[in-house]
Amino acid sequence: MKLLNKSALAALAISIPVQAFADPSGAYGSMGYGMGYGGWFFGPLMMIVFFGLIIAAVIGALRLFGLGSNSQSNRALDILDERYASGELDEAEYASRKKALKA
């Protein structure tokens, strides 16, 4: 690897203080501590996406474990179907109970 020559080192040594004085606000820049103009849009957007993913994960876990809102009504319809298939219920009683469960 070739070492830097003296003129390259001198240019580097001069450019560092010049850059520091060129930006009066310091190392972070003048647009909100390095966020830039996009930070005002993408920051809240990413926060909404993050919380949306958390909510979706919680809802998915509840449905996976059978704790969702439709799990009880589906179970009741399954039991009703089993009772009708086994002959415990006639057609009229099956239809009325099924209508009551879906309401």
Residues in the chain: 103
Rounded to two decimals, what is the model's pTM? 0.38
Residues 19 and 9: their CA atoms lie apart, in Å, by 16
How much is the pLDDT for 47?
92
Is 90 buried (19+), middle (13-18) or exposed (0-12) by CB count in 10 A?
A: exposed
> How many Cα neighbours within 13 Å face the side chain of 34?
3
Please compute Rg for the chain using Cα positions.
34
Q: What is the pLDDT of residue 48?
A: 94
- Reported as a single tens digit per residue, the pLDDT across 4-61 is 677 776 766 666 555 555 555 555 555 555 555 666 777 788 899 999 999 999 988 8
Please give the angle made by the CA atoms of 59, 60 and 64, to the nearest 5 degrees. Answer: 120
